[in-house]
Structure 1
Amino acid sequence: MTAPYRTAVRGERLADRYELGTHIDSGGMAEVWEATDHTLGRTVAVKILHAHLARDAAFLRRFRREAINAARLQHPTIVAIYDAVSYDGLEAIVMERIEGRTLRSVLDEHSRLPARDVIDLGRQIAQALSVAHAAGVIHRDIKPSNIMLCEDRRIRVTDFGIAKAGEDTDLTRTGSLLGTAKYLSPEQVLGDEVDDRSDLYGLGVVLFEALAGTAPFDEGNDYATAQARVVNPAPRLSQFRPDLPASLDALVARLLEQDPADRPDSALELSGLLSSITIVSEEFGGGAPGGDRTTIDLRHNSSGVDGDSTGEITPEPKRRDRGRKALPTTPPDSTVLAPSGAPPVGNADLDSANPNDQEGDEPPVDRGFSLPIGKLVLLAIVLGTLGLVAALLDGYRSDPGAAGVTNPSGATDGPDGESVSLTPVQNFGPPIIVSGQAVDPLGDNTENDDMAGNAIDGDPATAWVTETYSKPGFSSVKAGVGYLLTLTEPSAPSELRITTPTEGWRAEVYVGDESAESPEGFTFGPYALEPLEGGGVADLRNASGSHVLLWITFEGQSSPPNPDGEEPPPELENRFELAEVVIE
């Protein structure tokens, strides 16, 4: 006899494996618990269906089917699903626990975000959607509460496929659509068949809201809000943010087109379009439009939980304290620019009593998602008469209640008499490459491995070459491949340069102390690898570590071998060639 459906209780163990701990949140479809996986000894998040949904056989079948489909998605930007459980009247899915905050909670607190950060956020979401769409999974519910912002600056998209389980039933109307109507595509409102481009519309709404401080359609109730996008064209972003580039305004407008045929063709295309936009400066206010710049802490919020989050906020950041470049002591009301070409370090905020006292334009061109998290502390130590250098506390190390960070070296008085810890200068050796290897974590784990040494042999006539793909964008089966460099010892590289005959490629660089085959395992990055004639260069002056990952996000096109000089030469092939890589 089937057990009656019920609510979960703290401390019970599902399937004799997942012990429920802290109740994180409850939404329209499910409640989320932190749990301990006693089989694998790890902490997970468990999403348990509300009893009234679990009783509906049709809904339950769809829920289980979509959970299985979503479990096939493996990518650094997607929250992984580990298991599906039916146990003693409870229906649940077990997923990766994420440390961070939802974009919803950040927007509720700060209204809008710097454009360069929103662009990188959108690019990462597009990468997640590209992987899902290639696997035949449409999200259907892209909204800020389903986007996690992690402490390492990465985003994670959650709840893939869950919205589809709720289609054709009124059982979820009491809660799950509340807050979702703003992000529905016109075809969803009309009940038409949806495809990948429906997710692009939802992402367009998210980008619009994060940049403008308001959603493009918000009519006061769900029905009117949903219908407005069918009847009226979306407003232009430039009406709210005239300071932003016309290219960004036009791209967001394309995403919000009523006809899916007028939107970008794919998430992969969208990722490339976002990568091509550069923000040089903007008139940014971190609160309501026109407000002052404010710092954003990804570790804490007032409630302790973040909407539909599948994880909880951890009290200790994963980023390490680093000290490299000399910077003068900076007054609290100034903007600090990173070395030329490096990611900006953001606004110094040394006055914990008033974190919103800074104004001014955004720093020049940024190379990645760089929300100014919490309390950014910039200190300088004068050594002798030379005025030698100092410590730069990483911009992502933060604690709302602290003026600095603890350090064995002790503390000294900072501005206004605050007690501030000092980070000593760390001495690094020159970056010397020991080995290079191909990495393919999102594919079959091989990528012409036997050719990997050609990229570091000092001979540009030889090369490591990726596999040849039938369609651009790795045939839409994965979001990237990598080339991993190991250095002799922890180093502070200033620059990575590559030589390549390939055209139209895109790549990023990551640096860290630990070896990893995918970007999420690195402390520093992404750093943009800027294409130059015959190669590319990345400014790494913010980074240190003993491992460097060159992560290729678009393989571009290369000429196939033509030893006999055939005319016309063979058509270009979808593959990337790395003739040489050098780190200085």
Structure 2
Amino acid sequence: MQGIAAGSTLAGRYALDRALATSEASETWVATDRTLDREVIATLFPRTSDNAAATLDSARRAAAVEDRHLPRVLDVGTEDDTSYVITEALHGAESLASMLQFDPLPPEEARRIIGEAASGLHTAAGRGLHHGALTPHELVRSRDGSVSVLGVATLAALSGEDDRPGDVASRDDTVALAECLYAALTGRWPGEKPVRGLPSQDRRVDGMLPPAKELVPDVPGDLDTLCSAVLNDDEGPRTPGELARQLAPWSPDQVTERDPSGPQRHLSGAAPRGSHRYVAPAAAAGAGAAGLAAAGAAGAARAGAAGRGTDTSAPTERSVSTDSDPTMVGRPAGYDEDDTGTFDATAYRGRDGYEDDDDGRLDPPMPLLQSGSDDPDQSSSKIALAIVAAFLVTALIFGVVGVKGLFSGKSSDEPQGGATSSATTTGAPTSATTSSSPSVPRGNKIAVSSVDVFDPEGNGTEHPELVKNVTDGNPSTEWMTRIYRTAQYSGLKSGSGLVLDLGKSQQVGSVKITITSNPSTIQVFVTDDPKDKGTTPFGTVTNGSGEQTVTGTKEATGRYVVLWITALSKGNIGGYREKIAEVEVLS
């Protein structure tokens, strides 16, 4: 595109860094928003294009749709001969096309990805918007397992295919989702138009696609039937909402291994408790620039630039029910037939993301709640601004007090008038202090020999496979708890957390905790016996996201450092969980 090169700036704000994809209709770039100092994705196309006005209009309408599956449209405009659409960057994301380069996905992960995508397109359809150009390049999965759909409305407008009646557009999107499901299950693309990077699946002489189960024997019966109904018989769901209903319920977490029970999982009859389990993961590790490549595919105008990345996880178990109807596997009896509804979780007891106790005391996780997807919405952004403003006011007050101390002849460390220092940590008045910004460590970093989940009142399923992330030195990886309905673990237990083994009993002067969630309550204990950590914490953190430092009034001695979470953080999309990125122990 003439005049567009690395270093160019749009609207005096968006500096183009590197090109991601180029097609006849558009170019996609990674750019830096200099006003807000963040990376964004810029889709550029000539203002003289026949479809430029329609594309800009579609992008403006897409910006009004709020759904966690749809990347936000941040800006739309035209400068000189270039029109542009600015969207948020999805860091660490990988396209479905990229995931299928070597093997098909586990069937339950295919169900989850397509179900989440269908939910997002159902929301868009409610605002009169459709995709119209969906391929595996436009479905991307972030490192936390969340699923996004790129290019809603804008890709079809760029290619001039956005003038279809609403019912036809909904059916076309449903067929495209079914094609993506077939590809996810088999690794082969069944559509008429080839998709770059994926081998095509030819139809038979009679014009029919071979059943997915014929290519991959462990494909569940309901998914095989669904693909055949939509792609061979022109039957089945007509809208993304109906498709999501037929796929539900799916795992709230990313699934990384195939069902060890194989096809037997889909036999008719009720599943006994503890049987027919599939594997749900932990979190993805690594990814580098994968998200940028995946997000850039949104502007490739069906050229489909595949995002690259790596994704490794360790499993935890989750049980799934069966149903007497082989086309309805996994749908509980209490399911609500309304397009916009979810299922009755009370009818799903014993088939949740936790190991089920015989007494049935564990409640299921929140239905269809996306795990680990806590991107801030508009309301959360306002709250964040309010918190920042409150922090600045507090800092100003402390600054004034410090200046007064310079002229009072007293040390700023001494309490004025006998008052207790305001830095004393709430909940542990005699033992520790904490601040919302890191304090100077008292000594050197103490090596942590091992980390484990500390869940004495539970069953140890608080993502033990993620604990390594808190000591890997990478703040972009994290450990997280399960999702609960209340901050107090839905009444199931009084707390959970992490235990760090220092290898031997040592003096601990402070503990740094990098938190990636909203305010919560984390008590820190230093002990030689985690089972008897005591009642008086070394310190307490309540400030929420950021690097927090707990510094004891005097060194404590022990082999173990226990992080005991008594109040979980409220997620921005509902539910409660805690996320910790890094923990450092200092002498």
Which protein has the larger Cα radius of gyration, Structure 1 or Structure 2? 2
Q: Give the TM-score, by structure 1 length.
A: 0.48
Q: Give the TM-score, by structure 2 length.
A: 0.48
